[in-house]
Amino acid sequence: MDARIVEAFRSAIHAGTIFRKTSCAVAYAHSTHDYNGHFGIRELCDICPMEQIDRCQKAWAKPKADVVRMLALNLGAQKSPVIDDRAIQVEGLDEQRRYFIQHSLGYQVHDVRYPHLKYQHGRANIGSKEQN
């Protein structure tokens, strides 16, 4: 479905710019980087304008483990978080606390119970089978 929507949008006359995430569109409209750190989930960016990718790339950085650990544990995480090149994985934090960390650090924060799978839309078990 994603591919069909992107293709239909690209083939439309004067379609403008399309984004997969609202925060990406808001950041683009304000000429700034995405505050949600979606740049780490690179497959989301393949339809973004190059100027937006450049903004996000310059602002995006893997956070320091001690800062992430302090934030997560102080907010009630059950274990120390795991940080990879895409996101921070936490256990025991509700959505509001995960978003607080995410917006503070500009890096994705996911609940370990609901993994965000590569080339799939967020936590949904759907996406591009060719790319899995």
Average pLDDT rounded to a whole number, residues 30-56: 92
Q: Which of 44, 59, 74 is the last residue of a domain?
A: 59
Same domain, 73 and 49: no
Same domain, 72 and 132: yes
Q: Which residues contact 101 (CB under 8 A, 6 or more apart)?
A: 68, 71, 72, 75, 88, 90, 93, 109
- Of the pLDDT bands very low, low, confident and very high (cuts 50, 70, 90), residue 114 is confident
User: When comparing pLDDT for 11 and 63, which is higher?
Assistant: 63
Long-range CB pairs of 87-93, under 8 A, 24+ apart, other chains included: 87/37, 87/40, 87/41, 87/116, 88/63, 89/115
- Cα-based distances in Å from 84 to 16, 77, 124: 34, 17, 20
| Residue 104 belongs to domain spanning | 61-132
- Of the pLDDT bands very low, low, confident and very high (cuts 50, 70, 90), residue 53 is very high
The tally of domains found in the chain comes to 2
Q: Which of 59, 80, 99 is the last residue of a domain?
A: 59
pLDDT at 125: 57
